[in-house]
């Protein structure tokens, strides 16, 4: 044994041939990662290797299913709060160990099984060769956290892969499958998982025998990029055009800083280039976007952990059913079937069943077109969906998801009917988006088995499912519904019952703020542009057009009834006006915008003069608003309601609230969620902003929770 620690072990694999195995195996952990313990052991292991005299070759392996997941993000948070110079010094210390490992006087091969991401990928880059098993994934996802590779990844990739491939890998943060990694040069060979060690050993032996020039492979990484100035300029300019068209540098500055750093160090040797990388990393890591995106990652982990806890003692689910076949029912059926769960799809109309099956078929056909599925798999998946006009097999279902029209009387009747036909322990879940679960439960004999399960449209794309606990909902019903959401590949967040639950309750004051801005004379197109620039995927007018004005007006009435002090306006709003004129949005081709079909068959929005004429009826003149005022008025209404949901215990934590808004309505991820947004403004500053706009109504007045937090100097995170 050359070295043995808690996470790294180095021993002879073949002593007679001088081949050693450098093995990552974190004791008591499910994955390997670069944490404080591993970083220290890496230093000690490299020192032991430097002192050994009979080593001729080395193979890096992992005893886990994952090669190395990357750096320990939980530890990173503390480093990111330090002064940039301290962060730089810390990175240079770690890089010194990576460099010493790279400089060992013998060839090294990484045998990559499972995921090698971030620091894990960078570990493979300090080897001369990389062999990937078919289970492997390899990539540099750091820009998704608001940072970029800091263990030499931005230095070695352009020298190994070329500038264009390196910038694509870093800017997109993509995890590459073995075939794609081989194509771009991120790995040198792909073999079956069970042949991985033998293949890596064979490669090392060829290096030792002089059949492969491993010194030349290493030298590439130590020298400047092999392109002249003109070629470099062309490569960087082309890459920047593509990258910045997708990633706004103001929203995701890490991408721009990474490109700038690579451009600066392209003509330097490795050691000097790594100093540039460390400086750029420290700059990216101390941005508010990095704090928000790292926080988002940690929140995601926390939400998944909570879901796991909620799903304890769940009933087994081997057969599901969905009531209501249209687009929503078809989407739910598709989602269940693609995850291997048989599902019955029931409706009272044959044409609706056809619509539901058509929706599922269309989504599966797209998967086949993209090469992500095969016709055989498509047929197998469709066979798991059983369309029916009757309740024949409902006696065997473990859970029934009701997805009929958003009308309490209809839902109550359908739920009561299906309850009488299912087994006593079957769970009934309503996909209502606004109607109280406690109210709907009154129509049932077993209200403890009833729960809300709110999917977002389109079901196949939206990751969030709200699981709503009514007054009489049992823990078992919640657990089973959470387990089902997980089985369907969704992220469930458990919330308590109220009109609109969490996401829609927060969204409607935002729509109310939009209506009030229009009333005060703002231009709906200007509002959309400002909020899209702020980071929303679409502005409020466009979002209402996509949701449908009829759906919006119906939900707004439910919200007004539930929260009249801040969601029941004393004037007719623009949204209601559009609805009255049958301008329903995309569904009938005209809403705030008018819609034409583009070459790909997708609706394309155009500003409509008729909208401006109509809006005069609900406006008190016309005026141009300052960009910041539009942002403040829209975001205060949104953020205040989020905080009120925390006050009312509708949602248990800021992390769950933030994740729900990001996954459910597209809150800008680089801002981290409404609670993180308040933190970054400063709670006291935010309360002062609320006071500035308090005259506009209750929706703008700071919740008591925020005033208390401001007085006590508290933050959400």
Catalytic residues: 454
DSSP letter, residue 590: B
Question: What phi and psi, each to the nearest 5 degrees, are found at residue 454?
Answer: -95, 105
Partners of 190 in the β-ladder: 132
What is the bridge-based pairing of β-strands 491-496 and 464-469?
A: parallel
Taking a C-beta distance cutoff of 8 angstroms, is the pair 56, 18 a contact? yes
- CB burial of 323-341 (b: ≥16 within 10 Å; e: otherwise) equals bbbbbbbbbbbbbbbbbeb
CA dist 385 and 396 (Å) reads 15
| Tokens representing residue 99 in the block | 């460099």
C-alpha torsion 648→653→657→659, nearest 10 = -170
* DSSP letters for 627-660: HHHHHHHHHHHHHHHHHHHHHTTSSS-HHHHHHH
Strand blocks (E) in 162-317: 175-176, 189-191
DSSP letter, residue 118: T
Picking from 75, 72, 11, the residue whose alpha carbon sits closest to that of residue 45 is 11
Q: What is the CA radius of gyration of the chain?
A: 28
3-class DSSP assignment, residue 511: helix
Sheet with 19-24: list strands edge to edge: 3-4, 8-14, 19-24, 57-62, 108-112, 129-133, 189-191
Taking a C-beta distance cutoff of 8 angstroms, is the pair 699, 512 a contact? yes
């Amino acid at each position: 044994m050359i070295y043995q620690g808690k996470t790294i072990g180095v021993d002879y694999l073949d002593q007679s041939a001088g081949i050693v195995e450098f093995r990552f195996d974190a004791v008591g952990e499910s994955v390997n990662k670069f944490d404080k313990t591993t970083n220290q052991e890496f230093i000690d292991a490299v020192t032991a290797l430097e002192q050994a005299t009979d080593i001729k070759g080395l193979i890096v392996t992992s005893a886990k299913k994952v090669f190395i997941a990357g750096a320990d993000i939980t530890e990173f948070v503390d480093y990111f709060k330090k002064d940039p110079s301290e962060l730089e010094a810390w990175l240079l210390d770690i890089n010194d160990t990576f460099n010493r490992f790279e400089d060992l006087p013998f060839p090294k091969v990484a045998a990559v099984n499972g995921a090698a991401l971030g620091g894990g990928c960078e570990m493979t880059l300090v080897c001369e060769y990389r062999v990937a098993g078919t289970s492997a994934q390899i990539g540099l996802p750091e820009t998704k956290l608001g940072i970029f590779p800091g263990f030499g990844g931005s230095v070695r990739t352009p020298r190994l892969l070329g500038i264009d491939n390196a910038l694509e890998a870093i800017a997109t943060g993509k995890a590459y499958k073995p075939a794609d990694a081989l194509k771009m040069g991120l790995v040198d060979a792909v073999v079956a998982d069970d042949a991985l060690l033998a293949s890596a050993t064979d490669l090392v032996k060829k290096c030792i025998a002089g059949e492969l020039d491993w010194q030349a492979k290493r030298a590439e990484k130590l020298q400047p990029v092999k392109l002249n100035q003109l070629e470099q300029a062309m490569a960087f300019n082309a890459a920047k055009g593509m990258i910045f068209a997708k990633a706004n540098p103001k929203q995701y500055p890490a991408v721009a800083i990474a490109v700038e750093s690579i451009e600066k160090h392209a003509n330097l040797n490795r050691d000097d280039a790594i100093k540039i990388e460390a400086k750029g990393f420290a700059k990216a890591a101390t941005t508010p976007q990095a704090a928000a995106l790292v926080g988002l990652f940690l929140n995601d982990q926390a939400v998944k952990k909570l879901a796991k806890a909620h799903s304890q003692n769940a009933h087994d689910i081997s057969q599901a059913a969905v009531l209501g076949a249209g687009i929503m029912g078809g989407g739910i059926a598709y989602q269940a079937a693609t995850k291997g769960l048989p599902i019955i799809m029931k409706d009272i109309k044959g044409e609706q069943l056809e619509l539901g099956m058509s929706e599922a078929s269309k989504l599966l056909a797209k998967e086949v077109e993209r090469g992500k599925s095969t016709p055989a798999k498509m047929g197998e998946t469709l066979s798991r969906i059983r369309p029916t006009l009757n309740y024949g097999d409902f006696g065997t279902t473990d859970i029934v998801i009701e997805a009929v029209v958003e009308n309490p009387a209809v839902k109550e009747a359908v739920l009561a009917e299906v309850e009488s036909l299912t087994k006593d322990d079957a769970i009934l879940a309503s996909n209502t988006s606004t109607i109280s679960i406690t109210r709907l439960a009154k129509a049932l004999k077993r209200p403890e088995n009833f729960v809300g399960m709110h999917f977002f449209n389109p079901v196949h794309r939206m990751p969030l499912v709200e699981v709503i606990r009514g007054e009489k909902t049992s823990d078992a019903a919640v657990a089973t519904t959470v387990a089902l959401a997980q089985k369907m590949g969704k992220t469930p967040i458990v919330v308590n019952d109220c009109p609109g639950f969490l996401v829609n309750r927060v969204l409607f004051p935002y729509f109310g703020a939009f209506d009030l801005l229009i009333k005060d004379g703002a231009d709906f197109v200007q509002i959309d542009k400002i909020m899209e620039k702020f980071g929303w995927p679409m502005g409020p007018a466009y979002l209402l057009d996509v949701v449908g004005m009829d759906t919006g007006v119906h939900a707004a009435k439910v919200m007004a009834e539930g929260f009249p002090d801040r969601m029941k306006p004393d004037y007719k709003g623009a949204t209601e006006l559009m609805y009255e004129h049958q301008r329903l949005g995309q569904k009938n081709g005209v809403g705030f915008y008018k819609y034409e079909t583009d070459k790909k068959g997708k609706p394309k929005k155009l500003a409509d003069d008729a909208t401006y004429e109509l809006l005069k009826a609900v406006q008190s003149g016309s005026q141009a608003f300052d960009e910041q005022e539009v942002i403040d008025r829209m975001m205060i209404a949104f953020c205040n309601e989020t905080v009120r949901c925390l006050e009312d215990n509708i949602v248990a934590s800021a992390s769950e609230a933030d994740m729900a808004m990001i996954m459910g309505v597209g809150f800008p991820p680089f801002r981290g969620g409404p609670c993180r947004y308040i933190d970054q403004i400063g709670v006291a500053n935010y309360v002062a902003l609320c006071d500035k706009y308090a005259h506009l109504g209750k929706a703008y007045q700071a919740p008591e929770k925020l005033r208390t937090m401001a007085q006590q100097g508290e933050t959400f995170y």
